[in-house]
Amino acid sequence: MKSRRIYMLKVGEREAPSINHLYLEENAPARLLACMYFWCVVDEKGPVVIDQGFSAQTLKDLNIPFRFEAEPPELLRRIGIDVKDVRAVILTHLHWDHYSGEEFFPRANYFVQQREMAYVVNPLINYRALGRFYNRAALEKIVRLHLAGRVVVIDGDQQLFPGISSLWTGGHSPGSQGVVLETEKGSAVICGDVVPRYQNIREDIPCGIHTNTIEAVQALEKVKARAGSMDRILTGHDPEAMQKYPRVAEGVYLIEGGLP
C-alpha cells in the first residue's frame, strides 16, 4: 500500500450539544464544535470514499443550522479527484451527516452493514428518538440503490478491498462500522460516530448518541486494539483533527501518504 493516500475533507461545522458526543458527562460545556468530515483513500486502483458528507440543499431541506463550507464534489476536485472515478462509498452508518442520499458518485457502489440496512426498514425507525438522525429521503434512496444492485451489504468484519476492511462496532447505531486502512505506518481506523472525539478515547467515554450502551463502550476498546497508535484513530467530528494533519487544500487534510 505504498502509494496510498488518505485524506480528510471538511464539509462544514456547527455547535452541537456535547451530550451527543459525550455520554453522561455533566461537566462538559453545553455545546461543542462539531466538524462534518468525510474521508477519501486513493491508491492505484482509484478513489474510495468513506462516508460522503451532504449538500447545502440537504441542510436547507432538513432546516439544520450549520456553517457550510464546501460541497463534497468540490472538496474532491481540490485534490484532483473526479467524482466519476470514485469506485466505492463505504458508509460508517446512515445518519444524515454521513449519508444524505445525494448522487455525488454516479459509478460507485455503496457498502453498508446489514444491521444498518435492517434497522432503517424496521418499525423502530418511526420512533422519533430512534429515527431522528436519519434523513428520510436518504433512506428511500439507499433502499432504491439496494434494489438496483448498487449496495454491497456487509455482515460484520470483512475485507472490502486489499488493505481496506470493515470493523463492525454497533453502539452508535445497530450497523455502525469502522473502516480499517492498512498503511505503511500500521492500521488506521476511521471510526464514524462511535468515537466522535479524541476525548472519548482518552477518557473512555462512550458516544452520547447510541442504540446500545454496552456496544458503545466496547467499541472504544475495539478501535484502540485495531489502530496502530492514537494518531491512527480518525474520530467522527473532532476539530482537533484539523490541527493534527497538514492542510493540503482549502478544507482538505492529508492524513497519510505523500503528495501526488
Given the rule CB under 5 A, which residues bind Zn ion? 95, 193
Residue among 73 and 192 whose Cβ is closer to Zn ion: 192
The distance from CA 210 to its chain's CA centroid, rounded to whole angstroms, is 15
Residue 118 sits at φ, ψ, to 5 deg, of -65, -40
- Minimum separation from the CB atom of position 232 to Zn ion (A): 21
Q: Which CB, 104 or 134, lies closer to Zn ion? A: 134
* C-alpha span between 160 and 244 (Å, rounded): 27
The residue type at 89: V
Closer residue to Zn ion (CB): 173 or 187: 173
- Least distance to Zn ion, CB of residue 209, Å: 6
Of the pair 6, 94, the CB lying nearest Zn ion is at 94
Tell me if residue 167 falls in helix, strand or coil.
strand
In three-state secondary structure terms, 221 is helix
Q: Which three cell numbers stand for residue 184?
A: 505503511
Q: Which amino acid is at 53?
A: G
Q: In angstroms, what is the minimal distance from the CB of 202 to Zn ion?
A: 20
Cβ 25 to Zn ion shortest distance, Å? 18
Q: DSSP code of 197?
A: S
Helix (H, G, I), strand (E, B) or coil at 252: strand
Minimum CB–partner distance for residue 98 and Zn ion (Å): 6
**What values do phi and psi take at 217, rounded to 5?**
-70, -45
Question: Which is nearer to Zn ion, 81 or 205 (by Cβ)?
Answer: 205
Specify whether the backbone of 85 is left (phi greater than 0), alpha (psi in -120 to 50) or beta.
alpha
51: left (phi over 0), alpha (psi -120 to 50) or beta: left
In the complex with Zn ion, the residue whose CB is nearer, 209 or 255, is: 209
